[in-house]
A = this chain, B = another copy of it.
Amino acid sequence: MNQEYPSILLERAVNEFTRLPGIGRKTATRLVLHLLRKQEDEVANFSDAIIRLKREAKYCKECHSISDTEICPICANPSRDHSVICVVENIQDVMAVENTMQYRGTYHVLGGVISPMEGISPADLQIESLIERVAAGDVKEIILALSSTMEGDTTNFYIYRKLMQYDVKLSVIARGISVGDELEYADEITLGRSIINRTPFNGKTI
């Protein structure tokens, strides 16, 4: 759509929105015109929330997750199990695991996975600081919770090699059939892995 905007201010705001992932020109126009119909203080709140987040957000010195403080609420919480670290790619993943309510350990946010295609090397990620946390002692288990992709597997292996020399248990999260999924629609690789990694069954649904 070769759209001619009746206002440069409008066009500029639409262009900024189209930089966001998954937002095309039509959606961007709709979002911007929606904001334009709001009161000025509401628009100011929107604009201010974004710029303040960027200027003031901190990253936890321990796990590198986003935080309003030097140490994030999870790392600062004495009732969490600091001997277990769940290694994830990004902040969304921390929130996703937290939402399961199944995990009481701490996290380590890598900031991505090793990807030669995208030029992301181990040095671009928070791997060194993970090794340092382990080297400092007190860590008993590292749970690798990265994407089930070639890049995720590469990163898992890289971390495995780096941690071999330390006395720490290493595990990866289980891959298998999603809860609620029918077997016939599962892909062969997932199904194959879920057979190989079968778990003992004691009569109870897990």
Give A residues with C-beta under 8 Å from B.
Answer: 1-10, 12-13, 15-16, 19-23, 27, 29-36, 38, 40, 42-57, 65-68, 72-74, 90-92, 94-95, 98-99
Contacts and interface: CB of A to CB of B under 8 A. Distances in A.
A67 to B, nearest CB: 6
A131 to B, nearest CB: 23
A38 B52 CA distance: 13
B91 A33 contact: yes
B99 A2 contact: yes
A43 B45 CA distance: 15
Given A36-B57, A91-B6, A92-B29, A12 B49 contact: yes
A109 to B, nearest CB: 10
B43 A51 contact: yes
A95 B49 contact: no
Nearest first, the 5 closest Cβ-Cβ pairs linking A and B are A43-B54, A47-B51, A13-B49, A13-B53, A47-B47
A36 B53 contact: yes
A13 B46 CA distance: 7
The count of identical subunits is 2
Contacts of A23: 31
Nearest to A74: B6
Given A22-B27, A31-B21, A91-B33, A53 B12 contact: yes
A93 to B, nearest CB: 11
A9 B53 contact: yes
A34 B65 CA distance: 15
Contacts of A67: 6-7
A34 B20 contact: yes
